[in-house]
Structure 1
């Protein structure tokens, strides 16, 4: 699928939000390059069209210096033969970039990360806030799996239906790498638990960041009329609460949770 991006430019109250999307296509290349500025942070995402690409971010002393550097980079790319791509929209790569930025600034506080996420989304066009929530919902829905529920049960010392919703939001809050590693093997989540968060790996408020940003930006309460949701997949549990099936399924995760008191 063609990797989608967005173009936007916003200045108010000394805040800067801008994005420029370029592509380079010939007989040998099929590349995208995107630069975005959020206040004094400049981020470049680049790679082959159809992939998430690589991302580099840099902080500048001021918003103006970040904007000047972005314009300089754009001019350099245009001279090399890149062209503007205006027929693109918000992508999963954009979604993870925003998640990572909020995570980096939150210092491990999930509530604060959700607040930062709301702030970042408020600076985006309404269509992107809606698409962010759609991407979140799809990632969240696809992770409704028996093995993830088993991992949640170990990590949090039990897991209700609602708790499993909040746990999957927590995995998303850890970022793209954590999510897709857990997609392959939920036992990989042992890297993200410690004595401070064991038993409390929930991120409920992250589930509402987009709707809050939308309501604050529009003063409307029709957000859920504009987003979509699909039914959850069927689950066939391959573990039991009252036997050693989880210990057998996730030996390393089981050991770490036990060592941490669970």
Structure 2
């Protein structure tokens, strides 16, 4: 049996073909348009060969490969825009550098993640680092909303309980809100997408975080630090300055900006985000 697969998702453009008969399995794989590489493996029985081959096929389909018929031509790869590529590069860097992504909340360390991220980014040139920094600033700007500010208040501010109602202080510092948004971004693409739509996704059961440490100021400097590892640059903000020079309209700070609406505080937060407030406040009260 011979089956042919291709993966053209995101930045990928590669093929994977498998042929197995009796006890022999042959796999050919590589970049589309090339001869690729070939591996041949012999199993103890034909049954084992068939089972392992089918298992590999399921794995490839799960990773984004789709099957081609023998007579099908390989479709042309749709070229991604620069913005689409930047988005993929950015989230790949964030998620590949998080070695504790599936670990318990108390095993994750922000500084360790940032150190891994800096090392990961140091492998790339200045142009790629500028793309990362530009995307970071855009993501920080996207999170500059009343809803995200309210999440910051719920997680970080003091509160009291009166007549079964949680009442929050409404202090929100400009710098602290930037560091909080950095922390949210480090949680990855899926979380960023969900939390941007509804902050109550924070307690939907899919995520586990240390709510006692919700600042990640160091994310603001990783691109420049990564650049400094391979360059003796006197300007410690060379990458950030390059982004500001070409994209001065990106403004993730709270200065000279207005939010989408008024920020709720006090007891309004409990009535608006009942599940979120009650779960977080119960945790903070322990």
1:217 is paired with a residue of what secondary structure? Answer: coil
- Aligned pairs for 1:69-84 within 5 A: 72-74=29-31, 81=74
- Alignment of 1:224 with 2:244, yes or no, is no
TM-score (norm 2): 0.60
Q: Distance in 2 between matches of 1:198 and 1:168?
A: 13
Q: Distance in 2 between matches of 1:77 and 1:109?
A: 42
Q: How many residues align?
A: 199
Question: Is contact 2:149–2:263 with CA below 8 Å preserved after alignment?
Answer: no
- Alignment of 1:173 with 2:186, yes or no, is yes
Q: Distance in 2 between matches of 1:175 and 1:87?
A: 21
- Alignment of 1:104 with 2:124, yes or no, is no
| Greater CA drift, 175-184 or 158-167 | 158-167
Summarize the Cα distance change of 1:172–1:45 in structure 2 as closer, same or farther, 3 Å threshold. Answer: farther
Deviation for aligned residue 1:223: 2.4
2:108 is paired with a residue of what secondary structure? Answer: coil
1:148 is paired with a residue of what secondary structure? Answer: helix
- Aligned pairs for 1:123-162 within 5 A: 123-157=123-157, 159-162=172-175
Counterpart residue number, 1:34 = 11
Counterpart residue number, 2:119 = 119
TM-score (norm 1): 0.65
Summarize the Cα distance change of 1:87–1:126 in structure 2 as closer, same or farther, 3 Å threshold. Answer: farther
Counterpart residue number, 1:6 = none
Deviation for aligned residue 1:78: 7.1
Counterpart residue number, 1:92 = 87
Structure with the greater alpha carbon radius of gyration: 2
Q: Distance in 1 between matches of 2:277 and 2:148?
A: 13
Q: Distance in 2 between matches of 1:174 and 1:127?
A: 25
Counterpart residue number, 1:251 = 274
Summarize the Cα distance change of 1:87–1:246 in structure 2 as closer, same or farther, 3 Å threshold. Answer: closer
Deviation for aligned residue 1:87: 8.9
Q: Distance in 2 between matches of 1:140 and 1:86?
A: 27
Q: Any stretches of 5+ residues in structure 2 without a counterpart? A: 1-5, 16-26, 37-72, 102-106, 158-170
Counterpart residue number, 2:258 = 234
Question: Is contact 2:110–2:216 with CA below 8 Å preserved after alignment?
Answer: yes
Deviations 1:126-171 (A, max 9, x none): 1001100100000111111111011111112254221111111111
Q: Distance in 2 between matches of 1:134 and 1:217?
A: 20
